[in-house]
């Protein structure tokens, strides 16, 4: 793990490019790994923020979307650049996604030879490799079967939904390649191996605690929050995160007290709580001495784990009087996580369900016309 973390970003880019070398076998099955992505260096931070702030699928300003987005991105750039400097100069999402995809495809080649060779295509929303770049490569490779695999286990309109809308826009513009089958894995919050993976990671951290606080440590499951407007609109994300938490605690036989909390609030509007930092302060007031923080909605390390939890939250906890705070690693390359992804894709390939019916159902109060169009398009064009 440490060796992977120490790879330079230039080496990662070379590795990524080498996967498409002319000597590599042509893939039969392509797995498009959707995620938000992150800037590879601080020079990319402004454009990364600008893409997020002007994305109407994610953020809706009451007026002047482009102007407001540009103003906020410019205003926040220096602060965010400083945070990336403090975690090594850039986001590690790409290197983890490449590693996860390579490990996934190696297992699939062995366990599903009839659909081999498999190739993973990292497809990011706001940083390179962008979704359209990944889909361009998918078309160039002339894969027979393409699986759009969301790397957000718990579905949210702002994450998975936004990414699927981008996929729809691409194929609506370029068309589906002749004879290519397209299907979707949109959510997997309840997969038992995902729960087992998180449970194993938590057990390891609990074992590192002093015996006198081990059984009393509060397990804080922290996930990215949502604006309450999105929750009230019908976004399924909070319930799906809660589902994962319950399954993990079942695996742990409810060994410790636990709480689901929410991080990364942005802006003045009301967001889903309780917030992670406020919860830490609240538990300190209650006399709690030890906390174990679990990034339950993240599958690999990025700024929200490496800075927001490892630096900012730890500082807040110590100032508040928490004696011990430990952070469980994201799944990254944990064997159970790779096994989970393999099982998900393998079972999907054997199923007769190209699209989850839940994906084709809009939120009760959906206001995004693109969602209606994209869901209809996927229902009509996806096939196994």
| pLDDT, tens digit, 9 for 90 and up, residues 210-223 | 999 999 999 999 99
253 and 353 share one domain: no
Strand partners, 292: 219, 326
- Among 224, 216, 229, smallest CA distance to 160 is for 224
Tokens, residue 253: 């036989």
Catalytic site residue 343? yes
> In this structure, are residues 87 and 5 in contact, taking their beta carbons and an 8 Å threshold?
no
In this predicted structure, what is the pLDDT of residue 4? Answer: 35
Under the banding of pLDDT at 50, 70 and 90, the label for residue 15 is very low
Please enumerate in sequence order all residues whose Cβ is within 8 A of that of 328, keeping only pairs 6 or more positions apart, or say none: 198, 201, 202, 204, 205, 292, 293, 294, 295
The CA–CA distances, whole Å, from 337 to 12, 56, 340 equal 21, 32, 5
In this predicted structure, what is the pLDDT of residue 266? Answer: 82
6 part of a folded domain: no
> In this structure, are residues 176 and 211 in contact, taking their beta carbons and an 8 Å threshold?
no
102 part of a folded domain: yes
Q: Is pLDDT of 7 > 60? A: no
CA angle, 108 as apex, 102 and 114 as ends, to 5°? 135
H or E element in which residue 219 lies: strand 218-224
- Determine which one of 46, 118, 191, 348 is catalytic: 191
Which of the listed residues 281, 310, 327 is the one where a domain comes to its end? 327
205 and 150 share one domain: no
Q: Is pLDDT of 155 > 80? A: yes
d(CA 106, CA 122): 16
Query: What's the mean pLDDT when you consider all of the chain?
Result: 92
Q: How many domains does the chain have?
A: 2
267 part of a folded domain: yes
Kindly report, residue by residue over 140-149, the tens digit of the pLDDT.
999 999 999 9
180 and 44 share one domain: yes
How far does Cα 109 stand from its chain's mean position?
Answer: 24
CA angle, 187 as apex, 328 and 364 as ends, to 5°? 120
- Determine which one of 109, 310, 333, 343 is catalytic: 343
83 part of a folded domain: no
- Among 245, 265, 266, 271, smallest CA distance to 256 is for 245
Cis amide bond preceding 358, omega within 30: no
Kindly report, residue by residue over 261-270, the tens digit of the pLDDT.
999 998 788 9
222 part of a folded domain: yes
276 and 322 share one domain: yes
CATH (domain of 238): 3.40.50.1400
197 and 311 share one domain: yes
Catalytic site residue 66? no
The three-state secondary structure class of 278 is: helix
Range of the domain at 105: 25-57+90-189+336-381
259 and 368 share one domain: no
8 part of a folded domain: no
The three-state secondary structure class of 265 is: coil
340 and 206 share one domain: no
Q: Is pLDDT of 354 > 80? A: yes
- Among 90, 96, 83, 145, smallest CA distance to 122 is for 96
> In this structure, are residues 31 and 105 in contact, taking their beta carbons and an 8 Å threshold?
yes
In this predicted structure, what is the pLDDT of residue 19? Answer: 52
**% pLDDT > 70, the chain:** 93
Q: Tell me the HSE value of 376 on the side-chain side, using a 13 A CA sphere.
A: 6
173 and 46 share one domain: yes
Cis amide bond preceding 316, omega within 30: no
CA angle, 299 as apex, 332 and 183 as ends, to 5°? 115
352 and 313 share one domain: no
Whole-angstrom Cα Rg for the chain: 21
196 and 323 share one domain: yes
50 and 183 share one domain: yes
4 part of a folded domain: no
347 part of a folded domain: yes
97 and 120 share one domain: yes
Kindly report, residue by residue over 184-231, the tens digit of the pLDDT.
999 999 999 999 999 999 999 999 999 999 999 999 999 999 999 999
């Amino acid at each position: 793990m440490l060796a992977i973390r120490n790879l330079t970003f230039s080496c990662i880019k070379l590795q990524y490019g080498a996967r498409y070398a002319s000597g590599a076998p042509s893939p039969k099955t392509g797995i498009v790994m959707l995620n938000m992505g992150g800037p590879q260096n601080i020079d990319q931070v402004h454009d990364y923020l600008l893409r997020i702030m002007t994305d109407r699928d994610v953020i809706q300003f009451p007026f002047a979307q482009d102007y407001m987005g540009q103003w906020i991105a410019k205003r926040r750039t220096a602060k965010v650049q400083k945070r990336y400097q403090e975690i090594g100069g850039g986001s590690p999402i790409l290197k983890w996604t490449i590693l996860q995809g390579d490990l996934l495809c190696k297992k699939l080649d062995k366990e599903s030879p009839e659909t081999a060779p498999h190739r993973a295509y990292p497809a990011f929303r706001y940083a390179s490799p962008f979704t359209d770049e990944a889909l361009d490569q998918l078309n160039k490779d002339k894969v027979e079967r393409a699986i759009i695999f969301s790397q957000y286990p718990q579905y949210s309109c702002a994450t998975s939904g936004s990414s699927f809308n981008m996929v729809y826009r691409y194929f609506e513009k370029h068309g589906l390649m002749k004879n290519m089958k397209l299907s979707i894995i949109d959510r997997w919050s309840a997969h038992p191996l995902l729960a087992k993976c998180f449970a194993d990671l938590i057990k390891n951290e609990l074992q590192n605690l002093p015996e006198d606080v081990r059984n009393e440590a509060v397990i804080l499951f922290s996930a990215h929050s949502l604006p309450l407007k999105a929750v009230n609109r019908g976004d399924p994300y909070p319930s799906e995160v809660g589902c994962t938490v319950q399954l993990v605690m079942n695996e742990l036989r409810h060994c410790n007290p636990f709480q689901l909390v929410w991080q990364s609030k942005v802006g003045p509007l009301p967001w889903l709580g309780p917030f992670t930092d406020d919860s830490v302060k609240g538990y300190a007031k209650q006399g709690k001495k030890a906390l174990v923080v679990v990034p339950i909605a993240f599958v690999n390390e990025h700024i929200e784990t490496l800075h927001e939890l490892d630096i900012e939250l730890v500082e807040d906890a110590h100032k508040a009087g928490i004696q011990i705070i430990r952070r469980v690693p994201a799944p990254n390359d944990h064997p159970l996580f790779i096994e989970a992804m393999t099982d998900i894709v393998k079972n999907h390939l054997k199923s007769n369900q190209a699209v989850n019916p839940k994906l084709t159902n809009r939120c009760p109060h959906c206001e995004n016309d693109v969602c209606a169009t994209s869901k209809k398009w996927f229902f009509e064009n996806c096939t196994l």
